[in-house]
Amino acid sequence: MELNQPDTADSAKPGSAPIHNHHWPLINQASFTIVSRDRLRFHVQVDHKWEDYADLNTWDVFLEDDTGHHWVPESVDHPKTRMITSMWDWEQVTPICGQFGRDGRGDCITTVGLRNDGWKNRQALGSLSIFRGTADFVFYQRDLFTANVKSLRLVVRRSGEAFEFTWKFDDNIATE
């Protein structure tokens, strides 16, 4: 997605570097807690620029193990969607060039200082907002998690798209 924001200015030389953008990461993740061998709680987070996409109440969720057992959540706890906004100042100041002047593009070859003239060319504040949806999905089944479980796959889906989170449990994985 076109979610970019400028890098923070170098604190040693404020404003001395040209503006470089970085991509704002959308973090979609899941983890789980074993409440007991009968109950698992999955913590899910979905980030997106659209609120309805990040709202986990609009997704279907199920859990599968390596033998093909299929479960739907017993409950959905603490679902919430919140907006995260980042803002920055686009203030443009004029660099003071060193003894070598400017290059062919008009940029200082060596910047020795900055004029305090940002007020001459005022810019609106820049901003970027995303929505972060979180929820806990609780699964219950007698002996849901035992020593024989080799993998779990949590699927969070809606029409035409899905997130699949897989956990593998094998004593040999740590040695690979």
170 DSSP assignment: -
More confident residue, 22 or 52: 52
Name all domains of the chain by residue range, CATH numbers in brackets.
18-89+129-175 (2.60.40), 91-124 (no CATH)
Look up residue 160 and give its two tokens. 């035409």
What pLDDT, on the 0 to 100 scale, is given for residue 6? Answer: 74
- Distance of CA 97 to CAs 16, 94, 116, 117, Å? 11, 9, 14, 15
For the cut 60, the answer to whether the pLDDT of residue 18 exceeds it is no
| pLDDT tens profile 153-176 | 999 999 889 999 999 998 775 565
Q: 72-82 burial by CB neighbour count: b if 16+ within 10 A, else e?
A: ebeeeeeeebe
Find the mean pLDDT for residues 35-64.
96
- Tell me what pLDDT residue 81 has: 97
When pLDDT is cut at 50, 70 and 90, the band that residue 117 belongs to is confident
**Selection from 135, 137, 133 nearest residue 78 by Cα:** 135
Per cent of the chain over pLDDT 70 is 90
User: Shortest CA distance to 43 belongs to which of 7, 90, 66, 77?
Assistant: 77
Q: Is the CB of residue 93 less than 8 Å from the CB of residue 169?
A: no
Res 70: pLDDT: 96
Q: Are 126 and 6 in contact (CB under 8 A)?
A: yes
Residue 15: its pLDDT value, please? 46
Give residue-wise pLDDT tens across range 137-148.
Answer: 999 999 999 989
What is the predicted pLDDT for the residue at 40?
97
pTM, two decimals, is 0.75
What tokens does 80 get? 């919430």
59: pLDDT strictly greater than 90: yes
